[in-house]
Chains A and B, each alone.
Chain A
Amino acid sequence: MSTLTTITGVEAKLFLRDATAAIMTFALPVGLLAIFGSIGMGEGADAQNVPESFVPVMALSLAVAMLGLSVLPTVLGTYREKGILRRLSVTPVNPVNVLSAQLLVNLGAAVVSSAVVLVLAATAFGLGSPQNIPAFVVGFALTAAALFSIGLLVSALAPSGKSATSIGMLLFFPSMFFAGVWTPGELMPDWAEPVREVSPLGAGMEAMQDAWDGGWGGAANLVALVVAVLVAGSLGARFFRWE
C-alpha cells in the first residue's frame, strides 16, 4: 500500500513535469471545447445536426485517448528502454506496482481533465451536463479502461519509447476518424458507422453521449469496450517485458 502510494506520488510529479503530457491532457481538450463551443457547435439545431453532447464528450475522449495511446505507452516504453524497469526489478518492490502507479496517474489525469471539460461545458458554453450520471461514469470508466489497455499492449510490443510513441499515434488518428471526431453526426460516411460502433473510442463516445441524453450506451458499444479491455489487457499483461 505505502509503496504504491509513494510510487504513484513520484510518478504524478514526473507527469506534471512533462510539459507535453500536461498540454495534451489539459490544454488540448479545453482548447477544443473553447473553439467548438464558441462557434456554437452543438447549440440547438445547427446545420450539421450535431447534438450538444458531442463537443464535450469528444473533448474529454480525446484527452483519454491521448493519455492511453500516447502518454502511457511512451512513458512505459522509455522506462523499459532506459533500464528503469530493470533496475526496479532488482529491488524488493513488485514491478506490478510500477504499472499500477502509471495507470493510476493517467487515470487521475483523465478524470481531472474530464471534470474541467464537463464544468466548462455546463457553465461557460451552455452545453448542459450528463443526464444519466451512473451510465456516464460507466461509459467513461470503460472508455478509459479500453484505451489504457490498448496503450499497455502498445508498450508491451514496442521495442523502444520512440516506437511506442509512433505506434500510439498510428492508432490515435484512425481512432479519431472512426470516433467521428472529424466528421461528427451525419457527416460520417455510411461505411464507417459500423466501425464507429465498435471501435474503442467510437463506442466509448457513443456510450457517453447516450448517457448525456439520459439513456445507457447501446449493448454493442458496451460489449465492444469490454472486449477491448479483456483482449488488449490480457495480451498486454501477457507480452509485457521488463527489459
Chain B
Amino acid sequence: MSIIEVANLRKTYGSTVAVDDVSFHVEEGEIFGILGPNGAGKTTTVECIEGLRRPDDGTIRVLGLDPTRDRLELRLKVGAQLQESELPEKLSVREALELYASFYPDPADPQVLMTELGLAGKADTKFGKLSGGQRQRLSIALALIGNPSVAVLDELTTGLDPQARRDTWQLVENIRARGVTIVLVTHLMDEAQRLCDRLAVIDAGRVVAVDSPAGLVDRVSDEMRVAFRPSAPLDVSILADLPEVTEVSRNGEHVVVTGTGDLLYPLVTTLAAHDVAAVELRTEHANLEDAFVTLTGRSFDEEPTAA
C-alpha cells in the first residue's frame, strides 16, 4: 500500500491557480522528490499533505488518513520541516527539542537526535546564534522528534553552502535508513538526482512526469556523447559503421561520437582492435535539466507562465 496518495489535487488562491491537477503516490521507505521551478506549486502541494491547507478539490491520503479530517492523528505520524520557519531567538537547541518532544506521546530522545545531527556541541546555543546549516539541522531534528513514519522536507538546503548541502544530503540518507519515508521538495536538480528514488516533476501546478531520476532522463533521451583524443591517427569511418553510433565529428584533435544505448563498450573495443587508445575520454549524458526542458518545453529558470 502507498504511504501517500494524492489524486487530482487542486488549490487556488483567489484567481491564482497554485496547484492545478496533481496526482502521485509515495511508497514506504522511499525518498520521493517533488521537483519544479519556483512557483510551480510544490510547497502548496506538500502543505495540503501536511494538513496546513485545505485542498479545493481532489483527495489526499497519508497513511490512510485524510489530512483535513484527521489532523491530530496525522500530526503524530508526519514530521514536517517548513520553508522559512524560525524559532524564538533566545531558545536554545536543547530547549527547542525538549519542548517539541513534549508534544508527542512517544518522542525520540533529544540527546540522541542532537548527537546524530551533529548538534551536541550546540545544545546550549540560542537559535539566534546558529549558522544556516545548524538551523537546518535543528529543523530536521524537530521534524524527527516525534518519531514520525513520514518526514516532509521543504527546500531543505536552500541558502546552504556546498559543503553544508552535501552534509545535509548525507543526513537525509541516514534518516531514510531508519525506515522513515521522506518527501523532499526541491528546485535543485543535483539534489533531486542525488537523493530521490523517484520524483514528480511539477510545472505550473501540474505533474509533468513521475519516475526515477534515471528513468526521467531516459524518457527524454537515451543519447550519449563520447569525446576523446585518439592516441594514433584514426579513420573515423570505422566508428561511424557501428550500429550504436549516430554521428561522428572531429573537434580539433578530439573525436566526438554521438550514439544511443551502450555506446562505450563497442567504441572502446573497436578502437582497441585498431591499436588506438582513447585518451582524455569524457562522456556526456542528458541530465535532469535536459529532461525538464524536454518535458515542459521551456528552460528551468524561466518564470512559470500562468496556468
Which A residues fall within an 8 A CB radius of B?
A: 2-3, 6-7, 10, 13-14, 17-18, 79, 82-84, 86-87, 89-93
Say what secondary structure dominates the interface of chain B: loop
Say what secondary structure dominates the interface of chain A: helix
Q: Which residues of A contact B103 (CB under 8 A)?
A: 3, 91-93
Interchain CB contact under 8 A, B80 and A90? yes
Interchain CB contact under 8 A, A84 and B102? no
Interchain CB contact under 8 A, B102 and A6? yes
Shortest beta-carbon distance from B292 to chain A in Å: 29
Interchain Cβ contacts under 8 Å between A and B, 29 examples: A3-B103, A6-B98, A6-B102, A10-B91, A17-B90, A18-B90, A82-B87, A83-B82, A83-B86, A84-B85, A84-B86, A84-B87, A86-B52, A87-B82, A87-B85, A87-B86, A90-B50, A90-B51, A90-B52, A90-B78, A90-B80, A90-B82, A91-B75, A91-B100, A91-B103, A92-B72, A92-B103, A92-B104, A93-B103
- What 5 pairs across the A-B complex have the smallest Cβ distances? A83-B85, A82-B86, A87-B85, A6-B102, A93-B103
Rounded to whole angstroms, the CA-CA distance of A86 and B50 in the bound complex is: 12
Shortest beta-carbon distance from B287 to chain A in Å: 34
Question: If the complex has contacts A90-B52, A91-B75, are A2 and B102 also in contact, measured as CB distance less than 8 A?
Answer: yes
> Which residues of chain B (93-141) have a CB below 8 Å from chain A?
95, 98-100, 102-104
Kindly state whether residue B146 has any CB partner on chain A within 8 Å: yes
Shortest beta-carbon distance from B95 to chain A in Å: 6
Which B residues fall within an 8 A CB radius of A?
A: 50-52, 72, 75-76, 78, 80, 82, 84-88, 90-91, 95, 98-100, 102-104, 142, 146
Q: Which residues of A contact B50 (CB under 8 A)?
A: 90
Shortest beta-carbon distance from B269 to chain A in Å: 57
Q: Name 4 extra pairs, CB < 8 A, besides A84-B85, A87-B85.
A: A6-B98, A18-B90, A86-B85, A90-B50
Q: Which residues of A contact B85 (CB under 8 A)?
A: 82-84, 86-87
How many pairs of A and B residues are in contact by the CB < 8 Å rule?
58
Rounded to whole angstroms, the CA-CA distance of A84 and B89 in the bound complex is: 11
Rounded to whole angstroms, the CA-CA distance of A6 and B84 in the bound complex is: 25
Shortest beta-carbon distance from B141 to chain A in Å: 13
Q: Which residues of B contact A84 (CB under 8 A)?
A: 85-88
Rounded to whole angstroms, the CA-CA distance of A10 and B103 in the bound complex is: 13
Closest chain B residue to A7, Cβ basis: B99
By CB atoms of chain A within 10 A, which of B51, B76, B80, B88 has the most? B88
Rounded to whole angstroms, the CA-CA distance of A91 and B146 in the bound complex is: 9
Q: Which residues of B contact A86 (CB under 8 A)?
A: 52, 82, 85
Rounded to whole angstroms, the CA-CA distance of A87 and B82 in the bound complex is: 7
Interchain CB contact under 8 A, A6 and B90? no
Question: If the complex has contacts A10-B95, A10-B99, A79-B88, are A92 and B146 also in contact, measured as CB distance less than 8 A?
Answer: yes
Closest chain B residue to A82, Cβ basis: B86
Rounded to whole angstroms, the CA-CA distance of A18 and B128 in the bound complex is: 13
Q: Which residues of A contact B76 (CB under 8 A)?
A: 92
Shortest beta-carbon distance from A190 to chain B in Å: 47
Q: Which residues of A contact B142 (CB under 8 A)?
A: 87
Shortest beta-carbon distance from A7 to chain B in Å: 7
Rounded to whole angstroms, the CA-CA distance of A79 and B100 in the bound complex is: 16
Shortest beta-carbon distance from A235 to chain B in Å: 24
Q: Which residues of B contact A18 (CB under 8 A)?
A: 90
Closest chain B residue to A9, Cβ basis: B99
Question: If the complex has contacts A2-B102, A6-B102, are A89 and B90 also in contact, measured as CB distance less than 8 A?
Answer: no
Interchain CB contact under 8 A, B75 and A90? yes
